[in-house]
Amino acid sequence: MTASNPQDFLPFVRPQINAATIAEVGKVLASGWITSGPKVQAFETRLSALFGGRPVRTFSNGSATMEIALRIADIGPGDEVITTSITWVATANVILTVGAKPVFVDVDPRTRNIDLDAVEAAITPRTRAIIPVYLSGLPVDMDRLYDIARRHNLRVIEDAAQAIDSRWRGQRIGAFGDLVSFSFQANKNITTVEGGCLVMNTPEEALRAERLRLQGVIRTGMDGMDVEEPGGKFNLTDVNAAIGLAQLETLDAITARRARLATLYFESAARHGLADLGIELPLAIDPTLATTNWHMFQVVLPTDRLQGGPAQARQLVMEAMRAQGIGAGVHYPPIHLFSYFRSLGWREGMLPHAERIGRGILTLPMFPAMQDADVERVCATLSETCKRLSL
């Protein structure tokens, strides 16, 4: 039955902003200080504590964090940066922004994260950095990643946009490693509406990040001002930081609820025979090695077994589910096949796992306010839809 009441529509994500947070935002607006100020400082202090005392600076978005990380690593024209094609296009765009060359490698078909064997094979004398992406919050093999980086003298800029509160061997992502970038965009596990943060290694890196996020300006005394290198306009506001402070208070509960929803998804998927239909579920990780924050619950559709084939099957599934009042998302099509990257020489067949996953990946609803029964409804609808569209 088609969902006729808009209130019955289940989106793939819904941010949660409670009344207390709205009241805090009101206080900031009434204070007369609404740009970067005491709330930003408090937010950065709390984030630093979350990441084991490492230096943290906040930014207006999670793309700026990666651009600044590349600049801190002194990466620019003539340099190569290895990354994945299954990501939001910002991951590659920031590499281009600093004048470097993105080098895409294939993904592991089970984790859907960057294939570290392919990373090592792609290293050349021009390679300066690796940008792994933790899809749905799932970390890569961090031991292997940093072993490769050490042996080849490479910087690591972790695109941990989706990985707040994910862990590797019990350590929170961001509490160790090199430069680690998080996003607080509206669909992330915790949000500042728009925003992000960069975790760094030294006070010197943090000071440079401060300058680069606000036009490179260096202030001294009451009226002294200088610029030694150009920056951008990437500062977070106190309005955003007030939201972030409130969201941090609920981080443990958010992570726990998402883990529970993921368990329900696996149980419901088994009841409705999703695997028997050729639908690939996320990888169930050994919790002693890695724990994900379950930022998203993603399946891969068997597009070659459904009406519409690889070009249209996902669209048909999404349309059918929407007609039943269920939203779904696409995260992500393989960006090396976007027109701009084709102009740089990338073609079909170069990254076969990424291309197959990118054609069929589907993000199912996942947010803490979901009811347990919503998970059952999603899996039942997906199962019925794929049976009806099967060739």
Report mean pLDDT in 10-residue bins for the chain, 391 residues: 65 94 96 95 98 98 98 98 98 98 98 98 98 98 98 98 97 98 98 98 98 95 95 98 97 97 98 98 89 97 97 98 98 98 98 98 98 98 98 93
* Coil vs helix vs strand at 179: strand
Residue-level pLDDT at 7: 63
DSSP 8-state class, residue 133: B
Cα 293 from Cα 41, distance rounded (Å): 26
Dihedral sign from CA coordinates of 199, 195, 33, 19: negative
Report whether 95 contacts 101 (CB < 8 A): yes
Q: How many CA atoms lie within 13 A of 353 on its CB side?
A: 15
Q: Does residue 101 carry a catalytic annotation?
A: no
DSSP 8-state class, residue 235: P
Report whether 378 contacts 371 (CB < 8 A): no
- Measuring CA to CA, how many Å separate 213 from each of 95, 204, 250, 388? 17, 14, 28, 52
Catalogue all structural domains in the chain, each as residue range(s) with its CATH number. 19-249 (3.40.640.10), 250-389 (3.90.1150.10)
Residue-level pLDDT at 200: 98
> What pTM was computed for the model?
0.96
Residue-level pLDDT at 2: 47
- The amino acid present at 308, given as its one-letter code, is G
Catalytic site residue from 39, 188, 233, 387: 188
Cα 194 from Cα 65, distance rounded (Å): 12
Cα 235 from Cα 43, distance rounded (Å): 13
Cα 125 from Cα 221, distance rounded (Å): 45
Cα 325 from Cα 63, distance rounded (Å): 32
Residues 6+ apart with CB under 8 A from 263: none
What is the DSSP pairing of strand 155-159 with strand 127-131?
A: parallel
DSSP 8-state class, residue 177: S
Which phi-psi region, left, alpha or beta, contains residue 341 (left: φ > 0; alpha: ψ -120 to 50)? alpha
Angle at 16 between CA 13 and CA 17, to 5 degrees: 145
* Coil vs helix vs strand at 66: helix
- Measuring CA to CA, how many Å separate 367 from each of 80, 324, 373? 37, 19, 13
Residue 41: which of 20, 64, 57 has the closest Cα? 57
Report whether 50 contacts 172 (CB < 8 A): yes
Q: Provide the 10 A C-beta neighbour count for residue 9.
A: 12
DSSP 8-state class, residue 3: -
